Amino acid sequence: MGRLIAVAGPTGALEAIRTGEPPPGVDAHRTAPRLDRWRIRLSAADPDADQAIREHLNIRLVCPGDPEWPTTLDDLGDERPYALWLRGPEDLRYACLRSVAIVGSRAASPYGLRVAADMACELAEQRWTVISGGALGIDAAAHRGALAADGPTVAVFANGVDVPYPASNDGLFAEMARRALLVGETPPGTEPNRLRFLVRNRVIAALSRGTVVVEAARRSGALGTAAWARKLGRVVMAVPGPVHSHSSVGCHKLLREEPPATLITRSEEVIEAVGPIGALAPEPGAPVLPRDNLDPTIRAVLEALPSRGGTGPAQIAVKAGLDLGTVNGKLGLLAAAGFVERAPTGWRLTKQARK
């Protein structure tokens, strides 16, 4: 499907599925039977119902090329998602610019849960976004730790963003829909299955600048996320534990690989490993993102900052014609993206953004 969309575009792909005619540029022999299967699934799709759920739950759909689409996903090549369903106030692209995945076992030990929550909380305090999979155990502890610091956190689901799975994380997901971000590759209403968990892991790895495995048993799915992170050139990190603990066997395996994962004992070491925000700039002197790609509200905040010196959020709000809450939120995103910084004189443009 990735190849089909790459060759024919989304509309051309839909047309090919409807007609059963493989477009030029794809392997017709391999594609034809798949088109038949996809046509059956297409007949079960109900875009109007999806649209109604989207509007009701305030879910948005972002596609490659949209301002909120994280370009880091392009590293997945043909395995890039076609689109992502989002639920929650965080901006996915900005949130992921400065993000770390914290993942691990569902059956975590009290030790692992504590490490995950503390590490996520400290990273969130430093305005690093904590990405995880919304599962029981380490994942939930990481999301909760980030929320405790009132920091950004992103849960990437193997199901629809309106499906509270696992059910016992229901309250966490409701909170994240209100204050953070839920991400799904499949439409609302989709139930998780084993395959979806596996493919979901590549999205967690690709969105973040590095993956920390806090606890993992020998065959934990978290090791799959780590393998994706390695394949994508992201930093692979692991937290050690007692050698007798089954929950740390997978982490110790990562630390004994060649090359070994980076051993992590505290949040500062994570930040050291994934590098400062400056490392994000693709070219020296170039802004992190072109201003033209910014959404209009973010751009209004950016343009309300004086070219020299600092200013307070209230003055920015007046100048941009926005309320103070919106301004504070957008300033956080702009800071994460490297456009603005907090100085003793207030918020100001970074050296990079002034150029």
Among 75, 111, 148, 328, binds a copy of itself (CB under 8 A): 111
CB 156 within 8 A of CB 200: yes
* 219 forms part of the interface with a copy of itself (CB under 8 A): no
User: What is the rounded radius of gyration, in angstroms, for the C-alpha atoms of the chain?
Assistant: 21
CA distance 172 to 156: 13
Q: Which of 87, 144, 252, 348 binds a copy of itself (CB under 8 A)?
A: 252
Beta carbon of residue 36, minimum distance to a copy of itself (angstroms, whole number): 51
Which member of 18, 265, 291, 312 binds a copy of itself (CB under 8 A)?
265
Question: In angstroms, rounded to a whole number, what is the distance separating the alpha carbons of residues 122 and 156?
Answer: 21
Q: Which residues contact 257 (CB under 8 A, 6 or more apart)?
A: none
Among 75, 269, 295, 341, binds a copy of itself (CB under 8 A): 269
179 versus 246: smaller Cβ distance to a copy of itself:
246
Token pair listed for 147: 């929320």
Residue closer to a copy of itself, measured from CB, 115 or 336:
115
Is 256 a binding residue for a copy of itself by CB under 8 A? The answer is yes
**Residues facing residue 135 across a β-bridge:** none
Q: Name the packing angle between helices 2-19 and 28-44 (round to 10°).
A: 70
* 227 or 263: CB nearest a copy of itself: 263
Phi-psi region of 235 (alpha: psi -120 to 50; beta: other; left: phi over 0): beta
Among 4, 16, 53, 115, binds a copy of itself (CB under 8 A): 115
Q: Is 241 in the site for a copy of itself (CB under 8 A)?
A: yes
Q: Which residues bind a copy of itself (CB under 8 A)?
A: 111, 115, 239-243, 248-249, 252, 255-256, 260, 262-266, 269
